Chain A
Amino acid sequence: MADKDYSIIPDKERERCVTGIEALDTILNGGIPRSNSVLVTGSCGTGKTTLSLEFLVHGAIKEENCLFISVTEDSKKMLNNIVPYDFFDQSLIEEGNLSFIDIPDLYDELGLLEKSEFSFKEIDELIAKIEKIVVENDIKRLVIDSVTSVCFQLKTEEKIRDFMLHLMKMLSSHGCTSLLISEISPEEPRYSQYGVEEAIADGIIMMGNLERQGDLLRTLQVVKMRGTDHSRAKYVLDLTAVGVLLVPLLKGGGVKAGSGGGKDG
Chain B
Amino acid sequence: MVSVQGLPEKLDSLEPGSAVALKVDVDSYFEVITALTDKFPRNREMQVIYTTSTISSATIIHVLDAFDISRDNIQFVDAVSYMTMGASKQPEGVTFVESPTMLENISLKIEYLLKKYPADENTVIIDSIDSLSIHNDNRILSEFLHILISNLRSHDCFTFILSVSEQDSEEIDNMLAMVCDDFIEVRPENESGSTEVEM
Chain A residues engaging chain B, CB cutoff 8 angstroms: 86, 212-213, 215, 217, 236-238, 240-242, 245-253
B143-A252 in contact (CB<8A)? yes
Chain B residues engaging chain A, CB cutoff 8 angstroms: 98-99, 101-105, 107-109, 111-112, 115-116, 137, 139-140, 143-144, 147, 151
The minimal Cβ–Cβ distance linking A85 to chain B, given in whole angstroms, is 12
Given contacts A213-B101, A242-B115, A242-B116, contact A251 B143 (CB under 8 A): yes
The minimal Cβ–Cβ distance linking A153 to chain B, given in whole angstroms, is 38
A250-B143 in contact (CB<8A)? yes
A236-B116 in contact (CB<8A)? no
13 additional A-B pairs beyond A215-B101, A238-B105, beta carbons within 8 Å, are: A217-B102, A217-B104, A238-B109, A242-B112, A242-B116, A245-B108, A247-B104, A247-B108, A247-B111, A247-B151, A249-B104, A250-B103, A251-B143
- Among B104, B143, B144, the one with the most A-chain Cβ atoms within 10 Å of its Cβ is B104
- Return chain A residues, CB-CB under 8 Å to B104: 217, 236, 247-250
Given contacts A217-B102, A250-B103, contact A238 B143 (CB under 8 A): no
The minimal Cβ–Cβ distance linking B118 to chain A, given in whole angstroms, is 10
The closest CB in chain B to the CB of A240 belongs to B112
Interface residues of chain B: helix, strand, loop or mixed (majority): helix
Inter-chain CA distance A250–B136, complex, in Å, is 11
Inter-chain CA distance A238–B112, complex, in Å, is 9
The closest CB in chain A to the CB of B143 belongs to A250
The minimal Cβ–Cβ distance linking B184 to chain A, given in whole angstroms, is 27
- Return chain A residues, CB-CB under 8 Å to B98: 215
- Return chain A residues, CB-CB under 8 Å to B112: 238, 240, 242, 245
- Return chain B residues, CB-CB under 8 Å to A252: 137, 139-140, 143
Inter-chain CA distance A240–B113, complex, in Å, is 10
- Return chain A residues, CB-CB under 8 Å to B111: 245, 247
- Return chain B residues, CB-CB under 8 Å to A242: 112, 115-116
B108-A238 in contact (CB<8A)? yes
Inter-chain CA distance A78–B151, complex, in Å, is 33
4 smallest CB-CB distances across A and B, nearest first, come from: A252-B140, A253-B139, A236-B104, A238-B108
B116-A247 in contact (CB<8A)? no
Sample (17) of A-B pairs whose CB atoms are under 8 Å apart: A86-B116, A215-B98, A215-B101, A217-B102, A236-B105, A238-B105, A240-B108, A240-B112, A247-B111, A247-B147, A247-B151, A250-B103, A250-B140, A250-B144, A250-B147, A251-B143, A253-B140
Inter-chain CA distance A236–B103, complex, in Å, is 10
The closest CB in chain B to the CB of A237 belongs to B108
Inter-chain CA distance A215–B104, complex, in Å, is 11
Inter-chain CA distance A241–B112, complex, in Å, is 9
- Return chain A residues, CB-CB under 8 Å to B139: 252-253
The minimal Cβ–Cβ distance linking B188 to chain A, given in whole angstroms, is 36
The minimal Cβ–Cβ distance linking A240 to chain B, given in whole angstroms, is 5
- Return chain B residues, CB-CB under 8 Å to A241: 116
A215-B99 in contact (CB<8A)? yes
Inter-chain CA distance A213–B102, complex, in Å, is 10
The closest CB in chain B to the CB of A252 belongs to B140
The minimal Cβ–Cβ distance linking B131 to chain A, given in whole angstroms, is 17
Inter-chain CA distance A217–B106, complex, in Å, is 12
- Return chain A residues, CB-CB under 8 Å to B108: 236-238, 240, 245-247
